[in-house]
């Protein structure tokens, strides 16, 4: 079942704010929260992530009906990619080196910002490229 495209974009906007706060504060705890949010989104899909639940409960009822839908697999893959960067960032902030935390968080922030501001999901594009590559190889 396809999902409302506004949900992942809302999640990316919240993620952008959280990751920017991590870069400003250097908070491993805040990055741990975002890591958990990515993990839940990767495991259960973006609709089951904390930001997806918030979108469905508080935001979507205030919007008109969705006009565009997308398959859930690309955003779910994007959550897994975000999880990888968040884990690297968490390692950097928690045990060092700090530059690893800053760099990994910055890369995740850039991807989240692209999605929230422009609707360009880097992780989704990676998923589609990998899918095309594996379909052509088989």
Query: DSSP secondary-structure letter at 109?
Result: H
Confidence at 61, pLDDT banded by 50, 70, 90: very high
How far is the C-alpha of 111 from the C-alpha of 123, rounded, in Å? 8
Average pLDDT (50-65) is 96
Helices and strands, counts by H and E, the chain: 6, 2
pLDDT one-digit tens code per residue, 1-30:
899 999 999 999 999 999 999 999 999 999
Buried b / exposed e across 31-65, counting CB within 10 Å, b at 16+?
bbebbebbbbbbeebbbebebbeebbeeebeeeee
How far is the C-alpha of 30 from the C-alpha of 27, rounded, in Å? 5
Maximum distance among all alpha carbons in the chain?
47
Task: Tell me what pLDDT residue 84 has.
Answer: 98
CB 41 within 8 A of CB 48: yes
pLDDT one-digit tens code per residue, 72-125:
999 999 999 999 999 999 999 999 999 999 999 999 999 999 999 999 999 999
């Amino acid at each position: 079942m396809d999902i409302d495209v506004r949900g992942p974009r809302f999640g990316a906007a919240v993620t952008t704010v959280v990751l920017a706060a991590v870069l400003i504060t250097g908070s491993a705890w805040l990055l741990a929260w975002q890591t958990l949010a990515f993990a839940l989104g990767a495991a259960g899909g973006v609709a089951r992530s904390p930001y997806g639940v918030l979108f469905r409960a508080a935001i979507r009822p205030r919007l008109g009906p969705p006009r565009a839908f997308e398959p859930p697999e690309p955003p779910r893959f994007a959550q897994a990619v975000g999880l990888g960067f968040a884990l690297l960032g968490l390692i950097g902030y928690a045990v060092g080196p700090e530059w690893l935390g800053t760099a990994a968080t910055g890369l995740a922030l850039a991807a989240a910002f692209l999605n929230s501001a422009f609707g360009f999901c880097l992780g989704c594009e990676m998923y589609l490229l990998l899918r095309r590559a594996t379909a052509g190889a088989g």
